[in-house]
Amino acid sequence: MRGFLLIDKAAGLSSFDVIRQLRKITGIKRIGHCGTLDPFATGLLICALGSYTRLNSLLEARKKSYEATLRLGQSTPTGDPESEVEETLSPNINRFDAQAITDAALALTELAIPKYSAVKIQGQRAYKLVRKGVEVEIPPRAVQVHSFRFLNPEELSEQNPYLSYVCTVSKGTYIRSLSVWIAAQMQTVAHTVSLRRTAIGDISVADAVKLDDLGDWQAALVSCEMLFGHIPSQRLDEKQISTLKHGQSLPVEMADAEQVLALNNKGEIETLGFVKDGNLRPKVNFRR
């Protein structure tokens, strides 16, 4: 079995907890997700089943949209509610300028990577090294903030030091770091208290299902065309698909493209290939 499920992850579960539960539900061992969500976060997790896990990188590369709330004046080691407050400062409400911060956010080119992250340093996860007391140095990561907007700026006060915002960002952007950056613009500290991923590319969490509501999981599988509408595709018959799966090229009336999906008559992806000089050549063939 191969396919994709859109899961609306609940708070308190790690992304791997979701995979573990899906393995029990489906009986399929080979399952992967497209973009980790921290345990405290909720929202869209695209899960690939079977041979389609090899397509994860195509989805992970897409921009992602979030809703987040930060708490000004308090920082935690992890940048979220999963660790104790380590520093308390004035929330500096008087330094809040929604338009200036929005403009600066949209101009960002890099952000720090949290030390408590899954980034690998010499083969080991950063958060594991930190928990062992090892000092880690992680260079900032190149990012792009495609859109940014505060949701409740008029509600910010000394009594309510919380700011909510929505954003769409490039792959690998840590929203925990973005919240810390926002606070730094006000010369204070903060941590993210809630986080929800609302979309990956044009795939919305509104189309996802909660694990507890996943009854007939096969009926919940989503079409490849829905997920990969951003990549050129070509529907082929069985003979043409067989040609590609034997490593041979296929003449097609398409412009040159680095990525092309070959679909069968059911709309399932059979091959990831590329087009050069009017010929579709296979890169990856997917087992049924």
The verdict on 237 and 213 lying in the same domain is no
Q: What is the mean pLDDT of residues 189-198?
A: 98
Residues spanned by the domain of 57: 3-62+204-223
The pLDDT assigned to 154 comes to: 95
Note the pTM of the prediction, 2 decimals.
Answer: 0.92
The verdict on 42 and 113 lying in the same domain is no
Q: What is the mean pLDDT of residues 237-264?
A: 95
Give the chain's domain count. Answer: 3
Cα(117)–Cα(120) distance, integer angstroms: 9
The verdict on 90 and 43 lying in the same domain is no
The verdict on 179 and 262 lying in the same domain is no
List the catalytic residue out of 17, 38, 103, 256.
38
Residue tagged 């999963």 (tokens): 82
The pLDDT assigned to 81 comes to: 95
The pLDDT assigned to 122 comes to: 67
Q: What is the mean pLDDT of residues 242-254?
A: 94
The pLDDT assigned to 127 comes to: 72
97-135 pLDDT, tens digit per residue, is: 999 999 999 999 999 888 767 777 767 777 777 777 777
CA dihedral angle for residue 119, residue 123, residue 127, residue 129, rounded to 10 degrees: -150
The verdict on 255 and 174 lying in the same domain is no
44-59 pLDDT, tens digit per residue, is: 999 999 999 999 999 9
Strand, coil or helix: 88: strand
The pLDDT assigned to 138 comes to: 76
171-187 pLDDT, tens digit per residue, is: 989 999 999 999 999 99
Examine the pLDDT at 216 and tell me if it is beyond 80. yes
Residue 37 vs residues 33, 93, 138, 141: alpha-carbon distances, Å: 10, 30, 20, 18
CATH code, domain carrying 245: 2.30.130.60
Nearest-5° Cα angle at 273, 270 to 277: 135
CATH code, domain carrying 78: 3.30.2350.10
Q: For the chain, give the percent of residues with pLDDT over 70.
A: 99
Q: Is 38 a catalytic residue?
A: yes
The verdict on 55 and 69 lying in the same domain is no
Determine the longest span between alpha carbons in the chain, in angstroms.
69
Mean pLDDT across the chain, nearest whole number? 93
The verdict on 154 and 50 lying in the same domain is no
The verdict on 68 and 21 lying in the same domain is no
* Region of poorest pLDDT, from 34-38, 181-185, 274-278: 34-38
Q: What is the mean pLDDT of residues 234-248?
A: 95
Q: What is the mean pLDDT of residues 80-101?
A: 96
The verdict on 70 and 187 lying in the same domain is yes
The verdict on 71 and 193 lying in the same domain is yes
Local confidence band at 220 (pLDDT 50, 70, 90 cut-offs): very high
What does the block give as tokens for 148? 């940014």
Contact by Cβ (8 Å): 67, 193: no
The verdict on 172 and 251 lying in the same domain is no
Q: What are phi and psi of 165, to 5 degrees?
A: -150, 160
The verdict on 160 and 185 lying in the same domain is yes
Report which of residues 113 and 150 the model is more confident about.
Answer: 150
Domain stop point among 185, 200, 215: 200
